[in-house]
Structure 1
Amino acid sequence: MSPAPVRRTVSAVKRRLPRRWRIALRRAAAGDRPWETPSVRELCELPATTPLLVHAGGIADDRALGGILAALARLPEFHLALVRTDADGAAVQELIRRAGKARRRVHEVPRPRRLTPAFLASADLAVLGFAPEGDQPAPVPAVLDAYRAAGLRIVAGNARPVREYLARHRAGELFVPGSVPSFVKAVERAWDRTAEAPEAAEPTVAPFEAGTPGPWRALGAGPVRLGLGTANYAGQLSALAAAISAARPDVGVELVVAKPPATFRYPADRYLHFPAEHQLDVQLDQIRRVLGAYTHLIVDAFRPVLGRLNGDDVAADLPALRRARIKVALLAHGSEIRHPGAHLERHAESAFRDAPEDLRERLTVVAERNRRTAEESGLPLFVTTPDLLDDVPFATWAPLVVDVDGWACDRPVLERARPVVLHAPSNRWTKGTDRLLPQLQELHDRRIIELRLVEGLPYSEMRRQVQDADIVVDQLVIGSYGTFSCEGMAAGKVVVAYLSEAAHRAVGVQPPIVNATPTTLVKAIESLLDDRAAATALAAEGPGYVRDQHDGRRTAEVFDAFLR
């Protein structure tokens, strides 16, 4: 055999060897020590000139890692090494699959027995998503120490323990978890500073993102300049802005939402990243914008509107708003004003039976504080569900707003022998899910109904699920119907929820909803199936009711006096 075919055969064999063996052969050929642990760059088989990011923290536990993979499409020169344990294999494969065209620049790297500085140092930057859940305290990830020991500048998600760590050590840049533009900018800043000393710059995070303006008239287009902010639960502020703008040609609107970027699902003029509200420059910017531009302001969920350096509720903002002669109204939706103890006394099957004790205590403090703010300020208070009038009887009902036409459906209900019953809790304890689920599961197992329990679906898929259902089961433990019930009625479905009849009589409405609790749910559904004609007639009333009460016209009228 001639030398050329022999060389080609040897090369083919080498390519089939594990990467560690190939690296050892190259080192031996170069006179280096082949037995040393290969670096992360060697395992990726990348030249020293290729920009390399490394992620060596827990793969499955990093809830913001998916956003980092998505951002690679906008960082075309960068490769990413995912250092994984054997248990991370499935999670890594799913992440790489979701990386799309960028997946060729994502490298699986087996984690060595010890995560040494020598192993990591060949990368250019270290990354960490790290998005802790809710208000639960979280420790600083230990991998940050390994990154620093390797001399790597760190690009990390902006969570309090990480932010404090990077500030203390002046070790990196912050981005907003879930925000692709924020991560890209953080990587670019870190790349520009890799040649600087570690203490050259404080960690930073861009506090604002441009919004996606909705169907409302821009601020300044009329004599009334209305600001709205900042919670936007279920997109209700976006819907309210559109409704008021449609009804009042003299009103221009600006909507500012201050939440984590993963929840930026609804239109707004500006998105204020939730952690950035604690920054002084952000607070000063908000003060200039709000006090210098608005004539009217609707404060959502008692959230602060001038940043959080004054505190975590709007009370401390009110003196400045008064001095600026801004007309202020308060808007409440639920737990920020619903008193747990009073609710437990009024309702035998109250949702607060299922709430953890520490949460009940925290919500009690919040509800009492906010009621005190409303009473002492004398500001007009609006609530979006009638049951809240039991807690604040001096408030005014401003009905929830839904896109009636967007949920419309011509699929007939209850024609299937085994009807589809849909339950879609956004928060299980507030819906009574754990109490009602065994009842529905029993009916499903007896093949009386087909149960569909769905959680965390995007808007378009949730709409498809509602339109395909026969019966929509909403909350059975609160006392009023919410957005999901309105959507079910708009789609012409039979809706089951627990209603406080006195509260709804007080506002003059009788929604076409089957009233049930977890205890009476099975009987209610069996009655619907025993008289399908009556149930179908009830469902047919839903679209008309929602159009009359919840398409935004009545809600805009409620705010008329405030906006004069």
Structure 2
Amino acid sequence: MTSSPARRLVSVMRRRVYSPVRTALREATAWRSYSTVREACGLSDAVPLLVHAGRIVDDRCLGAIIDALPRLATYHLALVHGWTGGDRAAVEGLLRRARAAGVDARVHRVVRPRRLTPDFLAAADLAVHGFCRPDGSSPLVPEVFDDYRAAGLRIVAGNARGVRDYLVRHGAGEVFATGSLPSFATAVRRAASVPTPADGSDSAPTPADGSDSAPVPAGRAATAPAPATPVPASAPAGPSGVPTPWTPLGTGPVRLGLGTANYAGQLAAIATAVCAARPAVSAELVMAKPPSSFRYPADVYLHFPTEHHLDVQLDQIRRVLSGYTHLIVDAFRPVLGRLNGDDIAGDLPALTRAGVKVALLAHGSEIRHPVEHLDRHAESGFRDAPEELRARLTTVAQRNRQIARESGLPLFVTTPDLLDDVPWATWAPLVVDVDGWACDRPVMERSRPVVLHAPSTRWTKGTDRILPDLQELHDRKVIDFRLVEGMPHDEMRRLVFEADVVTEQFVMGTYGTFACEAMAAGKLVVSYLSESVHERVDLRPPIVNATATTLVKTIESLIEDRATAARLAAEGPGFVREHHDGRRTAAAFDAFLR
């Protein structure tokens, strides 16, 4: 007869051997005990519920979706899975991840019914899929998408060409940038705000309005919305979680891509202005910059050296050709990486074949011809530019003009002086945050006015021409002169607020972003303007016109007549709001985006 300890040992061994089998069998038959996914999760109708009913092991982005749940404070997630070893093991890993993120109480494992019916899924609010694959391949649309639609669920899925085409064709949901937590959270809110047709018919998606909170689904009790996350920052090299102020790329009729220079943040400002003016437009901005550069808002950051890497280029090709209906090409730079060369010309055939509508955008040296500028302006800054640089910029301007002419694409310029170089272009004014630069500090009241000069590049501002005279006025205690270079943007704003006079440029003939910011702050701006250029666009900026040779007399006259100087400075905020708050710029792109 077997001893009692031996019997106990055999019993323990049996439990160890058969426990996994028993668990699997128990899970495989558990579906019979509930009729809907919401019932399986034990949730009331008042709780927003996301459901994932595809193969868990095939969806590599579910981990990121779980990581995003803290941004969706009221949402629960149901993982409907099979009882095969692969799915069960994958779910266990996801539950561990949910515990680490502090959302394990909102993630539910549900054994997949033998037959997945629309009635079973319909009790959820949204369906989610990720599609982030380790090999970078573009996935096919899974059959479960048809089940989701039959259940009346809108779908939030990772951005891939086949998936996006499916959602656009059926008006069935929203896409998000795989791996981006704010992008997923925003897509969920947008999908929840657009009801699915009750009859399940195919219909065009309602254009997104860019709002950050979604209405409570019909028949549900109102709950506090999750904190707003208006835009994704979806870049492998970008700062995740940083909100950007334009409508994130969706599945609507106009999906606008912008890239890749974003000089002085102008591309970001244009994206914001266009989305604010046109609710049907969603946007994605890709910015290629060296890691050490100042960063302006963008959805995707490509560190400039890696733009040549094959995997980065292939990712960019998939992003642009499968995601955008319209594209604003910034500074003639390539948008598909560097496979096709170092300018946009090599990318145009692929963009045309993909049916992407393209516009070109220029800001300055990429289109401004040095020789012609020297002929037009006695004060031209190209006289100070190194000869090698002047020759290179001449080549660049000639090449880009040829691209613009031969392509026949719409061309936009952000400063009116560039119409001298490309007279067929459309002026799309520089955009600044007028309210963000508002300052109530009065000007010209101190005995020694504070005069600020902050060049980005000295030869483009004429710095070396004016520096001796401004220093001499400072030494005579006529002014308090401050030269600032390489200062972070927020610190520069503080210095502008403290100034009375901002001297911008004295060699180009027009005003730039910094002058607009100074005018918005109510500061007196002194700069060299070509009057004929600004008359062409019916523009009379409240800027004191001066050259390097007349600057001293100009400043002395402003000090003598402080009241007139202060009145001129007071006109600045109104002028910038009228021409440079983004409304006029968005209107310039109307025909292109229509």
Q: Is the shorter-chain TM-score for this pair beyond 0.5, marking a shared fold?
A: yes
- The match for 2:238 among 198, 209, 215 is 209
3-state SS of paired residue (1:262): coil
Measure, in 1, the Cα distance between the counterparts of 2:439 and 2:249: 35
- The match for 1:460 among 475, 481, 490 is 490
Contiguous gaps of at least 5 residues in structure 2: 1-234
Corresponding residue for residue 293 of structure 2:
263
Corresponding residue for residue 285 of structure 1:
315
3-state SS of paired residue (1:268): coil
Corresponding residue for residue 418 of structure 1:
448
In the alignment, is the contact (CA less than 8 A) between 1:208 and 1:273 conserved in 2? yes
Corresponding residue for residue 253 of structure 1:
283
1:45-60 aligned at under 5 Å gives the runs none
- The match for 1:497 among 507, 518, 527 is 527
Measure, in 1, the Cα distance between the counterparts of 2:392 and 2:236: 28
* Counterparts in 2 of 1:221 and 1:248: CA distance versus 1, 3 Å: farther
- The match for 2:274 among 244, 250, 260 is 244
- 1:310-335 C-alpha deviation (Å, 9 max, x unpaired): 11110100011111111100000010
Corresponding residue for residue 34 of structure 2:
none
Shift of the alpha carbon at 1:298? 0.1
- 1:388-443 C-alpha deviation (Å, 9 max, x unpaired): 11111011110000011111111110000110000000100000000010111111
Corresponding residue for residue 429 of structure 2:
399
* Counterparts in 2 of 1:241 and 1:550: CA distance versus 1, 3 Å: same
Corresponding residue for residue 447 of structure 1:
477
Quote the sequence identity (%). Answer: 76
3-state SS of paired residue (1:261): coil
In the alignment, is the contact (CA less than 8 A) between 1:400 and 1:483 conserved in 2? yes
In the alignment, is the contact (CA less than 8 A) between 1:217 and 1:245 conserved in 2? yes
In the alignment, is the contact (CA less than 8 A) between 2:236 and 2:300 conserved in 1? no
| 1:380 alignment partner AA | P
Corresponding residue for residue 33 of structure 2:
none
In the alignment, is the contact (CA less than 8 A) between 2:506 and 2:528 conserved in 1? yes
In the alignment, is the contact (CA less than 8 A) between 1:222 and 1:249 conserved in 2? no
Shift of the alpha carbon at 1:263? 2.1
Shift of the alpha carbon at 1:209? 3.4
Shift of the alpha carbon at 1:374? 0.3
Shift of the alpha carbon at 1:366? 0.2
C-alpha RMSD of the superposition = 1.2
- 1:43-79 C-alpha deviation (Å, 9 max, x unpaired): xxxxxxxxxxxxxxxxxxxxxxxxxxxxxxxxxxxxx
Corresponding residue for residue 531 of structure 1:
561
Q: Does 1:231 align with 2:261?
A: yes
Measure, in 1, the Cα distance between the counterparts of 2:564 and 2:238: 50
| 1:309 alignment partner AA | L
Shift of the alpha carbon at 1:309? 2.2
- The match for 1:360 among 382, 390, 396 is 390
TM-score (norm 1): 0.63
Corresponding residue for residue 585 of structure 2:
555
- The match for 1:433 among 444, 463, 471 is 463
* Counterparts in 2 of 1:386 and 1:236: CA distance versus 1, 3 Å: same
Measure, in 2, the Cα distance between the counterparts of 1:391 and 1:311: 24
Measure, in 1, the Cα distance between the counterparts of 2:294 and 2:495: 22
Q: Does 1:409 align with 2:409?
A: no
Measure, in 1, the Cα distance between the counterparts of 2:409 and 2:239: 31
Contiguous gaps of at least 5 residues in structure 1: 1-205
In the alignment, is the contact (CA less than 8 A) between 1:210 and 1:269 conserved in 2? no
1:234-383 aligned at under 5 Å gives the runs 234-383=264-413
In the alignment, is the contact (CA less than 8 A) between 1:337 and 1:366 conserved in 2? yes
Measure, in 2, the Cα distance between the counterparts of 1:504 and 1:221: 40
3-state SS of paired residue (2:517): helix
Measure, in 2, the Cα distance between the counterparts of 1:521 and 1:294: 48
Structure 1 residue ranges (4+ consecutive) displaced by more than 3 angstroms after TM superposition? 206-213
Corresponding residue for residue 542 of structure 2:
512
Measure, in 2, the Cα distance between the counterparts of 1:563 and 1:484: 28
Paired residues, number: 359
Corresponding residue for residue 542 of structure 1:
572
In the alignment, is the contact (CA less than 8 A) between 1:279 and 1:309 conserved in 2? no
